[in-house]
Amino acid sequence: MVRYQKIVSEIDLEVQRLRKERGGSPCPLNCFDCCRSTATMAISEAEARDLKEGLRKLSKEVRSHIAKKANRSIQKLEQLGYSTENIIRDAGIEAIDALKGKSEAQCPMLIGGVCSVYEHRPIICRVWGYPIDNGSELACCKKTFIGRRRLFKPIEYARYWREARDLSESLGAKQKTPNCHLVVRLLAEIDRQEFIGK
């Protein structure tokens, strides 16, 4: 995972650069709107391996709370006809639209308005809020850098994403996994490993 840590370090440096150029964090205090609709976001295997380390650090109670949230999202998605396969076809966009406004749309790792795996969050969570080059256009959260997006050199999100994808393929992963499904899988793996290690 040295390669993944290198990607993350580069991204963090880019974020620091933009913060310095802008004069601080672009997000309003206590805003976590972007985490309210990420239950189906597509996560690569390289990101998943890092996320797993973040989940492992949490207490059993917190992990159990996260698992319940993720399972609630999965259940609701299944009622609406969404499985891992058909969620991932468009990176979870249609499925998250179906959950719009519902608590099940929230990222399972958001607890009390705080990211419980902050140091291990996926790439998009690290860059959202800053101008990014997504490979086809300049993208940014609609609440930040308003009217000033083109004044800053964007973060090369598309390049970082490609690097994470290539790394994931080298780890044997054929496709990304929706957040809620991935979290349930990772938590089960952690439980199994802890049980064996006893």
CB of 54 to ligand SF4, least distance (A): 8
In the shown chain, the binding pattern of residues 159 to 188 toward ligand SF4, with x for contact by CB under 6 A and - for none, equals ------------------------------
CB of 160 to ligand SF4, least distance (A): 15
What residue ranges in 5-96 does DSSP mark as E strands?
Answer: 42-43
Q: How many residues does the chain have?
A: 198
State the Cα–Cα distance between residues 77 and 80, nearest whole angstrom: 5
Binders of ligand SF4: how many residues, by CB under 6 A? Answer: 21
Q: Which two tokens stand for residue 29?
A: 């205090």
Quote the distance between the C-alpha of residue 53 and its chain's center.
Answer: 14
Among 128, 145, 157, 160, binds ligand SF4 (CB under 6 A): 128
Instruction: Please report whether residue 121 would count as binding ligand SF4 according to CB under 6 A.
Output: yes
Instruction: Please report whether residue 105 would count as binding ligand SF4 according to CB under 6 A.
Output: no
Do 131 and 154 meet the contact criterion of CB atoms below 8 Å apart?
Answer: yes
Among 42, 46, 95, 107, binds ligand SF4 (CB under 6 A): 107
Q: Which stretch binds ligand SF4 (CB under 6 A): 13-21, 34-42, 150-158, 166-174?
A: 34-42
| 132-133 and 42-43 beta bridge pairing | unpaired
Q: Which residue's entry shows tokens 């795996």?
A: 117
What residue ranges in the chain does DSSP mark as E strands?
Answer: 42-43, 110-111, 114-115, 132-133, 138-139, 177-178
Instruction: Please report whether residue 31 would count as binding ligand SF4 according to CB under 6 A.
Output: yes
Output the CA torsion sign for 69, 125, 112, 63.
positive
In the bound state with ligand SF4, the residue whose beta carbon lies nearer, of 167 and 180, is 180
Name the 3-class secondary structure at 172: coil
Among 11, 47, 105, 129, binds ligand SF4 (CB under 6 A): 129
In the bound state with ligand SF4, the residue whose beta carbon lies nearer, of 63 and 121, is 121
Among 38, 73, 168, 177, binds ligand SF4 (CB under 6 A): 38
Name the 3-class secondary structure at 177: strand
Q: Which two tokens stand for residue 50?
A: 């890092």
Instruction: Please report whether residue 15 would count as binding ligand SF4 according to CB under 6 A.
Output: no
Query: Using CB under 6 A as the criterion, which residues of the chain lie in contact with ligand SF4 when the complex forms?
Result: 27-28, 31-35, 38, 107, 109-110, 115, 117, 121-122, 125, 128-129, 141, 143-144
